[in-house]
Structure 1
Amino acid sequence: MKKILFFIIPILSMTTLNAADINDNDIETMVETLLSKMTLEEKVRLSYAQSKFSSPGVPRLGVPEVYTSDGPHGVRMEINWNDWGHAGWTNDSCTAFPALTCLAATWQPEMATLYGKMVGEEARYRNKTVLLGPGVNLYRTPLNGRNFEYMGEDPYLASQMCVPYIQGLQSNGVACCVKHYALNEQETFRNHVDVRVSDRALYELYLRPFHAAVTEGGAWSIMGSYNQYLDQHATHNARLINDILKKEWGFDGAVITDWGAAHNTDEAIFNGLDLEMGSFTDGLSTEAPINSYDDYYLGKAYLEKCRKGEVPDSIINDKARRMLRLILRTEMAENRGFGSMNSPEHIAAARRIAQEGIVLLKNNGLLPLATKDGMKILVVGENATRSLCAGGGSSELKPRDEVSPLRGLKERFGDRCTVEYAKGYESGRSMFGMVDELPQALYDSLRNEAVEKAKDADYVIYVGGLNKNHTQDCEGGDRENYQLPFGQDRLITELLAANSNTVLVIVSGNAYDMPWLEKAPALVQSWYLGSEAGHALADIISGDVCPSGKLPFSFAYQLTDYPAHKMGAVGYPGVSPDKLPQPFGGVEGKPMNSAELLKAAVKGWKGIDFCKEPGNGAKRNETEIYGEDILLGYRWFDYFKTKVRFPFGFGLSYTTFSYGKPAINGRTVTVSVSNTGNVAGQEVVQFYVGDDKASVIRPVKELKHFEKVALAPGETKQITYTIDDEDLKFFDDTQHKWVAEPGKFKIYIGSSSKDIKGVVGFNYKN
């Protein structure tokens, strides 16, 4: 255990710790010592906020306050004590790291460790106790406004990337707060939608990254989400928190609300909530009076119930213990270090993570650019100059320096080429439901100017896509459709017609329609890349860095290819309970049955009268069914043999790779991978496991292992994967346990979920 240091030694000797107390290394002993000296009022006061982003400690005993900060892509600028306004500090600029979609696209756990360590150093320097992240909800719909903050559609990939992030972050003595627990896969109706999902899908998919964060990553806190599950808000949900998180998984940290996610004193007391933040706000804009904190659900109402004897001591002490444990692990830990901000190491890390996460989706030989002296490069698109660290909701950042794509391209090519710029389109600014309406004449003017300039350029580099406006990639609201906004499809089509040497760079945290793809010679999937966005993009475009990113989610051809949308409004965004079709009504307050859901899905949901719109325009109590059950993402596309535009795990390179014939010896699979091209590169070798025959419906295959391997031209390496029993199991929701059935399994080795290079068989006997 770490040694614990009390920063303040109170002078009230009869009620405070003595030297013998503070010499003990054991955190649990320290927790119990503190607890024995606390009054009821002090215990209760630990459980609710004192400002917008802080909660009190126990001043009398020298227990410091808790200071939280939004993340997870960097440390947010300082916010006012009691409202959402920026405090206006001049020393709170940070290094903006790439969004977590980019981190997931690296398929490199070492990058996650580096990311967590670097952002943790900045949080520590800013004296933050808890960084609110990482986000590990899964990609269920491409309309989700917060997908850019998450790690894709596969729970194994998300788990493998979040665990080292957490460990790197907490190595600085700063707690992560893994979010949003649980089933928060959309922003529409997020404050009240009641999610219905089978236990099998819950355990196999949506809880897997949280389980890994707790049991492998050792997360010190968890954030409860806004939505409901089984008619109860997730932030004080008896089944999610008491039964699963704390009892089944043994989580010993603190459960913290999302801001404004608490709704009920009794549920907050008895259903496992430990720290209440932001009540009486909507989590974004609504303000509360400065004197309102005692009115929180875990404030004076909780204290009064305790005084009346309505709350057992075991519950009072459990909440206090968890908060004390959090503080002892962070603010009161000796040898915690001081952290650092904007160091050269942080900037280099942000650039490297961005380089490794950028995904090359198409290339007909145009990339890397072959420039010559005197060439003209035209950069088009608002995202080439727009700050993409601003906006987006709580993940907004104030970087010390944000290198735009235009700046990065000028710095890389400007010594040999003329680099010009045309905006091409404009989006305006919008936040939290207010969207700027721009005149059509402005769109026409900007488009026509860009197209005319493109005719005279040697190369056109288009940098567009989504942004962090409301109804784009932004907290508090989902996208409205699958298309690129602001007339970009027409602009891209006309640019491609004007200049065949056009490179398309699309910035987004989501998939989108591509009606122009067939005519595009090169397509780069960028993400929100942070401080070093322009440098990292120029590194890829120039060929200084060989692209190696792989997609963490599937790109379908159209929105209704995704099962959440194929189902109609009952699958997204939810319908009034009286509009629920059969067989999806289920039993109130009980998990849904996986077998029934899958049976309906396999039959094409025939005979089910799906609602196309939320019932009666209701704004409360919508119910949503995860009717695709365990067949999320590529699992659905595999099972129903549905073609996708770009599959999960896909990404091109400037070199080529060949795979040898895989072999299996016992439980160990071996495959050789060779670089058959002319430049050094990295390949992500993916191992999927499939169960040929099972007593339940299972996906065709599921990702169970991956390895990113660096290869010089002509080099060959052997990649191995040893099968574990856990890799073969499914969650049996009739027995409530994980089961591996004897029989034949297949191990698929590929460079994406669709590009399978070899298959070997494996017989399992339990």
Structure 2
Amino acid sequence: MKTETYEVQIGKLLEQLTLEEKIGMIHGAGLFRTEGVERLSIPPLFFSDGPMGVRAEFADNEWRNTGTTDDFVSYLPCNSAVASTWNRELAGEEGRVLGEEARGRGKDMILAPGINIKRSPFCGRNFEYMSEDPYLISELVVPMVKGIQQSDVAACVKHFAANSQETERLWVDTKVSPQTLEEIYFPGFRAAVQKGGVHAVMGAYNLLNGEHCCTSKKLLNGTLRRDWGFDGVVVSDWGGVHDTREAAEAAIDVEMEVTYDFDQQYMAEPLLKMVRSGEISEALIDEKVRNILRLMFRLHMIGEKRETRKTGTYNSREHQDTVLKIARESVVLLKNEEECLPLDAKKVKRVAVIGQNAAAIHSNGGGSAEIKALYEISPLLGIKKLLGGNVKVEYAPGYYIPGKEAQGSVNWQADSTKKDWGKTSEEAEVSDETKECRKRFREEAVALAKECDTVIFVGGLNHDFDSEGYDRTTLTLPYEQDALIGELLAVRPDTVIVLYAGSPVAMPWNEQAKAVLWSYYAGMEGGTAIAEILFGKENPSGRLAESFPKDANDCPAHTIGTFAKKDVVEYKEGVMVGYRYYDTVDTPLYYGFGHGLSYSRFVYKYMTVRPVTASAETGGTMDAPRYELAVTVKNDSLRAGKEVVQVYVAPKERQDDRPAHKLCAFEKMELMPGEEKTVTLLLTAAAFSVYDEKQHAFAEKMGSYEIEAGSSSRDIRLRWEREHFLSHPGR
């Protein structure tokens, strides 16, 4: 007997469902679940945040933790850390671990990954996102999604779309041109859908060109469903729906909320009444339920393969090893003058570790990214573990952080969708007591630094600043850290600076520092990775996935993009985001996109470029190959290391509103001492295409181009050009 297709079985289930049962399936019946239909063996859908691990268990109808010792999980590197590995395989491994842990905790959908563009360094959720570059995001989100979904768990990419700030987060209307959307803000989501096969998409809180994203017909019915062919489930962000009719007519399938009156959600009783009265067609509800049932078949929640659904696991030793592997490749060595690093563990006898972030725990903050980590290795612990008992490691906090008042038992999310939510995060007015404490902490730290043979400062941001619901207002490090760093460098010029943060910070002391190491929130083994790199047990191979500007006023989001009024922001910079702008106008930066040093030295020797003919299947698509590059690199050092070969395409005929170049290919390669290796990369039609608003499609632009290969967007080692270089070889 031939097995019935999903669609046939879905049709039969729809015929048996009552209207009330259908309505129960399309809105929250608990804070993180929908309603099932027990008589038809249709289970509820269980959701969980988030991007850095499966969140703690909450009560069904109250923001109160209910887990005891059973909901501790692995704390994974944040998406910014994953992006800084520039490693597709590791992105897939991060996804695999996240999917296995979500399924192990009994979840059906993990609300990850976050892939919004890092448009401004001020966005409080930047640590949850990957990069300022849409191509890099697209290349990493696909393996991450596939990794998650190996475990019969749905990945849910978020937040769709153009969601780049927390200020006025539910009510800000982002005005973005079609070309900018297609070239900058859509590619990651499009790749997740069409190449990653993602099962779910979360709508964003903000409005896009006048429509709330969660109920936008243009965005959901048009772009996502019609243009990209998405047939999975669209979930609202919690509290992102504001109108019953809009929700019914838009291609959103599940409404979720932060409040507890589930029956009064827009897609609950109000929708039921409108269907019964004939104001809204039941066919619209059927389509939403159809998408949900299709998801359940795909996850083996229902149907013949229900007994084969994967069980998952969490807190396995293998997961911890994988987290460490990712953390090691995420750390970025920004500066290393006079070969200050690596430190020699055999020569140090007394080490001063200074700075609150040396001992801080970050897993339990950041908003919905917070998790209940099984453990977290701080840099201080990592250093002490590595050096052992023969080296005296002494800690001083260095800078003072005033205590916070207890927030009580009510979770912040209960208030997070109110009109005045979504603010800026600033330091409170400094009291005389705080001033005195900071002075004393600084004096103690500097005194310790004078006494020790090695000084390591660990500072940066924390989740008071990198957090959902808040945006920063300045690049300046909080808690007067710059003053402390300046004093440490004055007495110990070889002080090693280590910074933890989710997005760029100002470094006014950068010229004086000899060694600067950067880490995003790198998970439960982040401190181990930091220690291993500091003392040379590991060779740093992370590369920045965003530019580090010296002044926020240089950022195009702030110099060109404008607030027309309090709740309207115009993305006037268009496609000139991040390095596309900075490199075009030659803006002074601390460090450019793609930058990262190694303890090895890599020499770029040759590049050859040859045209290739696309196959009949791909000839007319953006993925059609146009040129094959062979780049030869040599490790001209005595140490094995990893280099990221980055390829940029630069049009010779420049236009004011177009970037000087853009990333179009990359590959991470490992080379042994003295080894010479050639890596092959493909440039597709997308490398030579722009979005034509009149044609409503991408079009290849014929003309002269320069192909650049290098170690960052500002460290181009090889160039290849041809006077009449055409993007249509063989035509």
Fold in common (TM above 0.5): yes
The alignment partner of 2:30 has SS state of coil
C-alpha change, 1:695 and 1:363, in structure 2 (3 Å) is closer
Specify the alignment match of 2:696 in structure 1: 736
Paired with 1:293 and 1:703, the residues of 2 have a C-alpha distance of 46
| Contact 1:24 1:30 (8 Å CA) reproduced | no
Specify the alignment match of 1:601 in structure 2: none
> 1:466 Cα deviation (Å)?
0.1
> 1:25 Cα deviation (Å)?
5.9
1:438-457 superposed matches below 5 A: 439-457=434-452
1:159-174 superposed matches below 5 A: 159-174=138-153
1:308-707 superposed matches below 5 A: 308-330=277-299, 331-332=301-302, 333-334=305-306, 335-364=308-337, 365-372=339-346, 375-428=349-402, 439-469=434-464, 472-567=465-560, 571=561, 574-576=563-565, 614=566, 622-666=567-611, 667-693=627-653, 697-707=657-667
Specify the alignment match of 2:243 in structure 1: 264
Amino acid at match of 2:242: H
Paired with 2:72 and 2:129, the residues of 1 have a C-alpha distance of 23
Paired with 1:232 and 1:80, the residues of 2 have a C-alpha distance of 33
Single out whichever of 254-263 and 327-336 deviates more from structure 2.
327-336
| Contact 1:458 1:501 (8 Å CA) reproduced | no
Specify the alignment match of 2:265 in structure 1: 296
The alignment partner of 1:123 has SS state of helix
Amino acid at match of 2:584: Y
| Contact 1:691 1:698 (8 Å CA) reproduced | no
> 1:41 Cα deviation (Å)?
1.6
Specify the alignment match of 1:234 in structure 2: 213
Single out whichever of 716-725 and 130-139 deviates more from structure 2.
716-725
> 1:347 Cα deviation (Å)?
0.3
Paired with 2:662 and 2:584, the residues of 1 have a C-alpha distance of 11
Could you say which structure has the higher strand fraction? 2
Give the one of 112, 117, 132 matched to 1:138. 117
C-alpha change, 1:372 and 1:695, in structure 2 (3 Å) is closer
Matched residue pairs, number?
Answer: 685
| Contact 1:694 1:741 (8 Å CA) reproduced | no
| Contact 2:654 2:660 (8 Å CA) reproduced | no
> 1:723 Cα deviation (Å)?
2.4
| Contact 2:594 2:711 (8 Å CA) reproduced | yes
Paired with 1:426 and 1:215, the residues of 2 have a C-alpha distance of 49
| Contact 1:689 1:745 (8 Å CA) reproduced | yes
| Contact 1:103 1:112 (8 Å CA) reproduced | yes
| Contact 2:344 2:536 (8 Å CA) reproduced | no
Specify the alignment match of 1:579 in structure 2: none
| Contact 2:628 2:680 (8 Å CA) reproduced | yes
| Contact 2:25 2:44 (8 Å CA) reproduced | no
Specify the alignment match of 1:15 in structure 2: none
Single out whichever of 698-707 and 423-432 deviates more from structure 2.
423-432
| Contact 1:131 1:174 (8 Å CA) reproduced | yes
CA-based RMSD: 1.7
Paired with 1:508 and 1:123, the residues of 2 have a C-alpha distance of 26
> 1:530 Cα deviation (Å)?
1.3
The alignment partner of 1:543 has SS state of coil
Give deviations 1:394-422, integer Å, cap 9, x for gaps.
Answer: 00011111111111100101333111100
Specify the alignment match of 1:581 in structure 2: none
Paired with 2:585 and 2:473, the residues of 1 have a C-alpha distance of 26
C-alpha change, 1:415 and 1:211, in structure 2 (3 Å) is same
The alignment partner of 2:712 has SS state of coil
> 1:501 Cα deviation (Å)?
2.5
> 1:353 Cα deviation (Å)?
0.3
Amino acid at match of 1:763: L
Paired with 2:517 and 2:483, the residues of 1 have a C-alpha distance of 18
Percent identity, please.
Answer: 40
Give deviations 1:528-571, integer Å, cap 9, x for gaps.
Answer: 1111111111111111110000000000110111011114xxx3
Amino acid at match of 1:445: R
Amino acid at match of 2:401: S
The alignment partner of 1:85 has SS state of strand
Paired with 1:188 and 1:107, the residues of 2 have a C-alpha distance of 30
The alignment partner of 1:455 has SS state of helix
Amino acid at match of 2:453: D
> 1:26 Cα deviation (Å)?
2.8
Paired with 2:127 and 2:230, the residues of 1 have a C-alpha distance of 27
2:727 is equivalent to residue 764 of structure 1: yes
> Where does structure 2 lack aligned partners over 5 or more consecutive residues?
413-422, 612-626
Amino acid at match of 1:652: L
1:275-290 superposed matches below 5 A: 275-278=254-257, 281=258, 288-289=259-260
| Contact 2:646 2:709 (8 Å CA) reproduced | yes
1:11-90 superposed matches below 5 A: 24=3, 26-90=5-69
> 1:641 Cα deviation (Å)?
2.1
The alignment partner of 1:31 has SS state of helix
Specify the alignment match of 2:620 in structure 1: none
The alignment partner of 1:204 has SS state of helix
TM-score, length-scaled by structure 2: 0.91
Amino acid at match of 1:355: R
TM-score, length-scaled by structure 1: 0.87
> 1:293 Cα deviation (Å)?
1.1
